[in-house]
Structure 1
Amino acid sequence: MNYESLGGKIKELRISMDLTQAQVAEALNVTPGYISNVENNRTAMSLRILIYYAKLMNITLDSLVGRVEPEYENTALDNELIGLIKHMSDENKLKLINTIKIWK
């Protein structure tokens, strides 16, 4: 993983969840300025904050920072997919199932 792009990924995730920097900062017990600095690659998140951020975004830590170990890749992908599906409507879940059946 290119850690210089981590700030951009963190920002993309925040925006995709329709959260403001202030909302993320409050959830992580940090300042909005800290979130801004992270998103603009002026500072790095501590491991503790990265873990909390991944939980807030409903993704695994390894999917946030990159695949740490190759043998965990399937688990990380499965967890990310489950997290995304969990928030879908039943109608969209059925559409996804039908789409996956087409790919098989």
Structure 2
Amino acid sequence: MLRIGSQLKYFREKNKLTQKQVANILHVTPQTISKWELDKSYPAIDQLVELSKLYKASVDKLIGRAKPSILDYFADAQNFRNYYGIPNVKEDEQSD
């Protein structure tokens, strides 16, 4: 059984979208998006293509079939900071 829910959730959150926003774009209900992300159901092929366009990620990446790229890993700023040992500075701590 294909388990793509975590991938769909990752890309949605990476794009700073809510389930409701994605649902409105795809003309489905927020419950449908939730079911996809919980692996209770799956998007149709045409919906995967639309998600791919929305998230600017290949369908292979959405379904977890693409090999992860180091660029994808470092695109997450926290991963970059962790890798190079850069502390996370909150904006209110930056006052000089």
Same fold, TM-score > 0.5, yes or no: yes
Q: Which runs of structure 2 are paired with 1:8-23 in the superposition (5 Å)?
A: 8-23=6-21
Say what the alpha-carbon RMSD is for the aligned residues.
2.1
How does the TM-score come out when normalised to structure 1? Answer: 0.59
Offset at 1:56? 0.4
1:1-51 residue CA offsets vs partner (Å, 9 max, x unmatched): x722x1011001111111000000011111101000000011011111111
Q: Does 1:3 align with 2:7?
A: no
How does the TM-score come out when normalised to structure 2? Answer: 0.64
Q: Which runs of structure 2 are paired with 1:87-98 in the superposition (5 Å)?
A: none
User: What SS does the corresponding residue of 2:46 show, helix, strand or coil?
Assistant: helix
Query: Which runs of no fewer than 5 residues in structure 1 stay unpaired?
Result: 68-72, 85-104
Structure 1 runs, 4 residues or longer, greater than 4 Å off:
none
Q: Does 1:44 align with 2:42?
A: yes
My pick for the range that moved more, 12-21 or 57-66, is 57-66
Q: Which runs of structure 2 are paired with 1:38-77 in the superposition (5 Å)?
A: 38-65=36-63, 66-67=65-66
User: What SS does the corresponding residue of 1:56 show, helix, strand or coil?
Assistant: helix
Give % identity.
30
Q: Which runs of structure 2 are paired with 1:25-36 in the superposition (5 Å)?
A: 25-36=23-34
Report the number of matched residues: 70
Greater per-residue helix proportion: 1
Offset at 1:63? 2.2
User: What SS does the corresponding residue of 1:3 show, helix, strand or coil?
Assistant: coil
